[in-house]
Amino acid sequence: MFEKVLIANRGEIALRVARACRELGIKSVAIYSTADAESAVVRFADEAVHVGPHHPGKSYLHIPNVIGAAQKTGADAIHPGYGFLSEDPFFAEICSDNGITFIGPRPDVMEKVGDKAIARDLMQKAGLPLLPGTIEPVQTAEEAQEIADGIGYPVIIKAVAGGGGRGMNVVRRAEDLVRLYQTTRATAQAVFKDSAVYIERYLEAPRHTEVQLVCDSHGKGVYFFERDCSVQRRHQKLIEEAPSIHLTDEQRRDIGERAVAGALAVGYTGAGTMEFLLDHQGNLSFMEMNARIQVEHPVSEMVTSVDLIQEQIRVAAGEPLSVSQEDIVLRGHAIECRVNAEDPDRDFAPAAGRLDVYVPPGGPWTRVDSHCYPGWNIAPFYDSLIATLIVWAPTRLEAIERMDRALSEFQIEGRGVKTTIPFHRRVLADEQFRSGDVTTDFVEHFLAAEALAAT
């Protein structure tokens, strides 16, 4: 096992990782930018190293300083958290060149799963279901037209290198195809420096369903069932839950097994997520793989009683998984709300500032993962996440009631500070949300209906 782990991140995830280290008896090293000198993880960790000014490119993303901090403190591993350097194969390679274990998949594997075209190809070969579409990038407009006509409209044209909702266009009519094909290629070239695109069937209102898995370096992998993350706005998730109420037990096992088989087939090690779209006929289609731990991992922890970060650290240290698939039993229902410093009434504009009042909720089966405390300044140059609030209950409806109770307790005040708490409470009260019939266009319709009711 590692002696000392450096956490190359900030905010709630840095603290989350440091907590896991402490419980495992591993020393932790925080790194911080000038803006984060007073952060919770700097206080909590065993050591802390100042790695640069507030600008992420000069601190959390500055590879020489991050590696230097690990060498200075004698850390034998680096946990990248999510975002920042977590999916940078180059960084993972530099870690290994310097004799430091990167807590994540091997650089070559990370590179493969990060390329959407390669990942689609590999996962299809490994037996994962895909939407009808191309595996190889489309070369000409004529070819694109032929393929799209074959799939049937609507189709979506996606940049191979795209992500985060950028570099994709939906085509609803055959006559728009050539124009949008060219537009997407041009955008892809401009934004991602790679004009390659592929085409697949477009699902109008799918559910976002993702499978959590962890693989060790001994050829073993396990799945921690699925999460439903359909409550999202512009591809940013707002509410996540586990399990999905739309899968049968048989489907759940089947997709879990296939996801693990796919991950093992590409030599994946560590914690990862396979994203799928679920259509109204109950068909799951592979979308992409995320080679990192995710913000919403706690909901899976709550329904399986396994600490995923600890498991991730264990397998990175070369140890076998501490649990077998039979040990992982799904129990009850968990919901997570992302409490962000954003103003839902002003199109979710960032509303950062100093937290004069910060009183997190408590009570049974209520978990708050947060780096905040009274007086902490939510800085405008980092993400706006204040806390992830997670509750567990035996059933989904009880979990909704518990979440609303917890949100009602959560007090956050500060000059200029607004949060997504009121938005979450309105969603929890919504009949459609409570029924569970939520698709990825839910938030859009919900906000439009609210706006209409207000006039």
Catalytic residue numbers?
A: 292
- Which of positions 317-376 make contact with another protein (CB under 8 A)? 375
173 near another protein (CB under 8 A): no
Considering only 69, 75, 148, 274, the residue that binds another protein (CB under 8 A) is 69
Give the residue with the Cβ less far from another protein, 52 or 272.
Answer: 52
Could you report how far apart the first and last alpha carbons of the chain are, in Å? Answer: 60
Give the residue with the Cβ less far from another protein, 32 or 84.
Answer: 32
Considering only 22, 50, 426, 434, the residue that binds another protein (CB under 8 A) is 50
Query: CB-based contacts of 163: which residues, under 8 Å, 6+ apart?
Result: none
Considering only 5, 27, 52, 276, the residue that binds another protein (CB under 8 A) is 52
Considering only 4, 22, 72, 253, the residue that binds another protein (CB under 8 A) is 72
Residue with tokens 């570099």: 167
Supply the DSSP symbol for 54.
S
Residue 104 phi, psi dihedral angles, 5° rounding: 170, -175
Q: What share of the chain is helix, strand, coil (3-state, %, to 5)?
A: 40, 25, 35
Supply the DSSP symbol for 268.
-
415 near another protein (CB under 8 A): yes
Give the residue with the Cβ less far from another protein, 54 or 425.
Answer: 54
Considering only 33, 184, 340, 420, the residue that binds another protein (CB under 8 A) is 33
Pair 212, 235: CB distance under 8 Å: no
At closest approach, how far in Å is the CB of 3 from another protein? 17
- Which of positions 278-307 make contact with another protein (CB under 8 A)? none
Supply the DSSP symbol for 345.
G
22 near another protein (CB under 8 A): no
Query: What distance in Å separates the CA atoms of residue 434 and residue 221, rounded to the nearest whole number?
Result: 34
The interface region with another protein, picked from 52-60, 203-211, 281-289, 421-429 by CB under 8 A, is: 52-60
Considering only 10, 27, 62, 367, the residue that binds another protein (CB under 8 A) is 62
37 near another protein (CB under 8 A): yes
Query: CB-based contacts of 253: which residues, under 8 Å, 6+ apart?
Result: none
Query: What distance in Å separates the CA atoms of residue 304 and residue 42, rounded to the nearest whole number?
Result: 30
Considering only 28, 59, 187, 366, the residue that binds another protein (CB under 8 A) is 59
395 near another protein (CB under 8 A): no
Give the residue with the Cβ less far from another protein, 21 or 203.
Answer: 21
Peptide bond into 298 cis (omega under 30): no
Considering only 2, 32, 60, 358, the residue that binds another protein (CB under 8 A) is 32
Length of the chain: 455
71 near another protein (CB under 8 A): yes
Pair 211, 273: CB distance under 8 Å: yes
CA-to-CA dists, residue 109 to 90, 112, 113, 124, angstroms = 12, 5, 6, 16
Nearest residue to 369 (alpha-carbon basis) of 453, 301, 424, 321: 301
Give the residue with the Cβ less far from another protein, 31 or 203.
Answer: 31
Pair 27, 46: CB distance under 8 Å: yes
At closest approach, how far in Å is the CB of 80 from another protein? 17
Q: Where are any strands of DSSP class E within 103-193?
A: 155-163, 166-171
- Which of positions 81-120 make contact with another protein (CB under 8 A)? 94, 98
With CB under 8 A, what is the number of residues at the site for another protein? 35
Pair 277, 220: CB distance under 8 Å: no
Per CB under 8 A, residues contacting another protein are 32-38, 42-43, 46-54, 59, 62-69, 71-72, 94, 98, 375, 377, 379, 415
